[in-house]
């Protein structure tokens, strides 16, 4: 009746598995009596303890039940048979190789001060020891929040109490948290053209988004106000992909708008550190700390893999944050938080940014030199901020042509129109040159494509 082969190791588990399988497939029917432990043990040539252990496990899981002084019976466990298909996992597409990629890319890894970072990590490991295992409050480690506050003061002129700073696992997690704080019922305005990932993240989190056109001064003020949005997600210091810088008058109008309706501006300061000439621009948070949420990350300044970012919350949102998340833990390991805090406090972070800035100045200079001698008529639009600028071609040149000719020269590039969330006229003929992942050697070796 039970022709099980229990010759291998772990006899009890094998027996349990076979019996369970027989119940699930219906070979053992509901209500059927199982043989006594003794007789099954004799049948199978195993000890009574083995059978007992298997029966116990089946009992615990509800495959069989026992009746006192009678024995073990099969429970009614009717699974509908279904073929379980484990399809072959999708193959990773091969990554194309370009002579220059102006679409993707982050700082060359060799610029990261890895040896001093490793040293910091080792010192955190030995200094903090088992404290690293303690629960980290959801808003982040106090030391890192203080370090960020003093960095913001030095680098951006923002004076903020560390208690309003929240550390998160990258920008997208922070956007999600903002949504939970401000409300999913609110309307969120995003820049068009813009980073698709921002509106996607809001949408994935269930918010309604409205794309608002970006003009030379950033998100268009009239359109933003007409949209009726409660929250404006903008990058006033250096918009991607247009490179627009929002003038003070527009900033103030948008602040007045959200202030009147009790809304918020999410000031996404994602690449303000890379204003290569002159001081970083004054941010909006300082103009109105009660209605601006300041967001920045370390993905551009340190490494894309460093999933850490922070936001500065207005006081009333901070109170709501404490209510909603006070009992949860930070998603960022304490280890990384402590190491980064020490890197900022010791000045290493700012030295690294300066090094990066110098490096990118060189890359930008090499690209500009190439463009100066470029035979194709064009205009370079560069506000001097961030790690991208645009190159505009005469109206007759189509976006398709720009990208095709570039690709033929080994150059991966996108056009402004590729970043449109909804179709808009007037964004044609402009290549977006994002040089964050371009090495100096690649910039010097660049051969610009013929476009006609």
Q: Which of residues 195-234 bind a copy of itself (CB under 8 A)?
A: 197, 204-206, 217
Q: For a copy of itself, which residue of 14, 173, 239, 296 counts as binding (CB under 8 A)?
A: 173
Between 333 and 410, CB nearer to a copy of itself: 333
Between 330 and 390, CB nearer to a copy of itself: 330
Segment 390-449, which members bind a copy of itself (CB under 8 A)? Answer: none
Burial of 187 per CB tally in 10 Å (0-12, 13-18, 19+):
middle
Alpha-carbon separation of residue 357 from 277, 410, 440 (angstroms):
9, 26, 13
Q: For a copy of itself, which residue of 184, 208, 261, 351 counts as binding (CB under 8 A)?
A: 184
| 261 binds a copy of itself per the rule CB under 8 A | no
Segment 1-30, which members bind a copy of itself (CB under 8 A)? Answer: 13, 16-17, 20, 23-24
Q: For a copy of itself, which residue of 336, 417, 433, 448 counts as binding (CB under 8 A)?
A: 336
Distance separating alpha carbons of residues 18 and 316, to the nearest angstrom: 60
Only segment of 40-48, 172-180, 397-405, 423-431 that touches a copy of itself (CB under 8 A): 172-180
* Strand ordering across the sheet containing 414-415: 379-381, 388-392, 430-434, 414-415
Between 125 and 369, CB nearer to a copy of itself: 125
Cross-strand bridge partners of residue 415 = 431
CB of 330 to a copy of itself, least distance (A): 7
Q: For a copy of itself, which residue of 4, 35, 116, 333 counts as binding (CB under 8 A)?
A: 333
Q: For a copy of itself, which residue of 69, 96, 262, 305 counts as binding (CB under 8 A)?
A: 305
Sign of the Cα torsion 293, 297, 300, 301 reads positive
Between 23 and 147, CB nearer to a copy of itself: 23
CA within 13 Å, CB half, 13 = 3
CB of 394 to a copy of itself, least distance (A): 26
Could you tell me if 55 and 72 are in contact, meaning their C-beta atoms sit under 8 angstroms apart? yes
Q: How many residues does the chain have?
A: 452
Q: For a copy of itself, which residue of 3, 68, 90, 395 counts as binding (CB under 8 A)?
A: 90
Only segment of 170-178, 357-365, 397-405, 433-441 that touches a copy of itself (CB under 8 A): 170-178
Distance separating alpha carbons of residues 161 and 159, to the nearest angstrom: 7
What DSSP string runs through 398-421? -HHHHHHHHHHTTEE-EEGGGG-S
Supply φ then ψ for residue 21, to 5 degrees.
Answer: -60, -40
Only segment of 34-42, 159-167, 263-271, 354-362 that touches a copy of itself (CB under 8 A): 159-167
Segment 347-386, which members bind a copy of itself (CB under 8 A)? Answer: 383-384
Could you tell me if 385 and 175 are in contact, meaning their C-beta atoms sit under 8 angstroms apart? no
Distance separating alpha carbons of residues 223 and 242, to the nearest angstrom: 17
CB of 303 to a copy of itself, least distance (A): 4
CB of 68 to a copy of itself, least distance (A): 18
Distance separating alpha carbons of residues 157 and 162, to the nearest angstrom: 14
Between 77 and 380, CB nearer to a copy of itself: 77
Segment 115-144, which members bind a copy of itself (CB under 8 A)? Answer: 118, 121-122, 125-126, 129-130, 132-136
Distance separating alpha carbons of residues 31 and 17, to the nearest angstrom: 19
Could you tell me if 299 and 356 are in contact, meaning their C-beta atoms sit under 8 angstroms apart? no
Could you tell me if 254 and 216 are in contact, meaning their C-beta atoms sit under 8 angstroms apart? no
Between 44 and 288, CB nearer to a copy of itself: 288
CA within 13 Å, CB half, 36 = 6
Between 256 and 358, CB nearer to a copy of itself: 256
Only segment of 106-114, 187-195, 417-425, 439-447 that touches a copy of itself (CB under 8 A): 106-114
CB of 329 to a copy of itself, least distance (A): 6
Q: For a copy of itself, which residue of 61, 127, 222, 450 counts as binding (CB under 8 A)?
A: 61
CB of 448 to a copy of itself, least distance (A): 28
Q: For a copy of itself, which residue of 1, 84, 94, 396 counts as binding (CB under 8 A)?
A: 84
Cβ count near 115 (within 10 Å): 8
Segment 35-54, which members bind a copy of itself (CB under 8 A)? Answer: 53
Percent helix, strand, coil in the chain (nearest 5)? 45, 15, 40
At 2, list the tokens.
Answer: 């039970």
Cross-strand bridge partners of residue 56 = none
Burial of 231 per CB tally in 10 Å (0-12, 13-18, 19+):
buried
Q: For a copy of itself, which residue of 44, 266, 281, 432 counts as binding (CB under 8 A)?
A: 281
CA within 13 Å, CB half, 110 = 4
If binding means CB under 8 A, how many residues of this protein chain bind a copy of itself?
100
| 264 binds a copy of itself per the rule CB under 8 A | no
């Amino acid at each position: 009746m039970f022709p099980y082969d229990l010759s291998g190791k772990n006899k009890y588990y094998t027996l349990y598995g076979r019996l369970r399988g027989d119940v699930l497939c219906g070979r053992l029917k509901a209500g059927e009596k199982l043989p006594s432990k003794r007789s099954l043990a004799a049948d199978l040539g195993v000890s009574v303890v083995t059978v007992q252990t298997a029966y116990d496990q089946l009992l615990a899981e509800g495959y069989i039940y026992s009746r006192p002084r009678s024995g073990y019976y099969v429970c009614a466990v009717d699974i509908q048979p279904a073929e379980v298909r484990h399809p072959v996992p999708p193959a990773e597409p091969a990554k194309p190789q370009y002579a220059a990629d102006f679409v993707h890319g982050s700082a060359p890894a060799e610029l990261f001060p890895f040896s001093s970072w490793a040293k910091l990590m080792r010192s955190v490991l030995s200094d903090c020891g088992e404290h690293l295992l303690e629960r980290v409050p959801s808003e982040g480690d106090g030391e890192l929040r203080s370090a960020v506050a003093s960095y913001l003061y030095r680098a951006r002129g923002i004076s903020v109490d560390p208690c309003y700073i929240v550390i998160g696992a990258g920008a997208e997690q922070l956007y999600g948290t903002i949504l939970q704080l401000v409300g999913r019922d609110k309307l969120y305005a995003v820049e068009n053209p813009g980073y698709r990932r921002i509106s996607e993240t809001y949408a994935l989190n269930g918010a309604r988004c409205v794309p608002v056109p970006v003009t030379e001064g950033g998100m268009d003020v009239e359109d933003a106000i007409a949209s009726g949005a409660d929250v404006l997600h903008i990058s006033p210091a250096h918009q991607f992909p247009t490179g627009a810088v929002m003038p003070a008058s527009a900033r103030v109008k948008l602040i007045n708008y959200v202030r009147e309706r009790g809304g918020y501006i999410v000031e996404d300061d994602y690449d303000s550190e890379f204003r290569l000439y002159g001081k970083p621009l004054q941010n909006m948070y300082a103009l109105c700390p009660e209605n601006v949420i300041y967001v920045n990350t370390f993905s551009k300044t340190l490494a894309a893999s460093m999933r850490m970012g922070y936001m500065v919350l207005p006081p009333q949102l901070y109170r709501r944050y404490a209510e909603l998340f006070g009992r949860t833990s930070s998603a960022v390991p304490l280890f990384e938080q402590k190491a980064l805090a020490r890197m900022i406090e010791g000045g290493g972070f700012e030295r690294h940014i300066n090094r990066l800035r110098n490096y990118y100045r060189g890359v930008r200079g090499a690209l500009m030199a190439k463009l100066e001698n470029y035979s194709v008529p064009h205009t370079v639009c560069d506000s001097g901020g961030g790690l991208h600028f645009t190159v505009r071609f005469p109206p007759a040149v189509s976006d398709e042509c720009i990208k095709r000719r570039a690709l033929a020269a080994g150059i991966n590039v996108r056009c402004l129109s590729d970043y449109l969330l909804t179709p808009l006229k007037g964004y044609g003929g402009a290549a977006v040159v994002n040089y964050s992942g371009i090495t100096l050697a690649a910039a010097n070796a660049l051969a610009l494509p013929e476009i006609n």
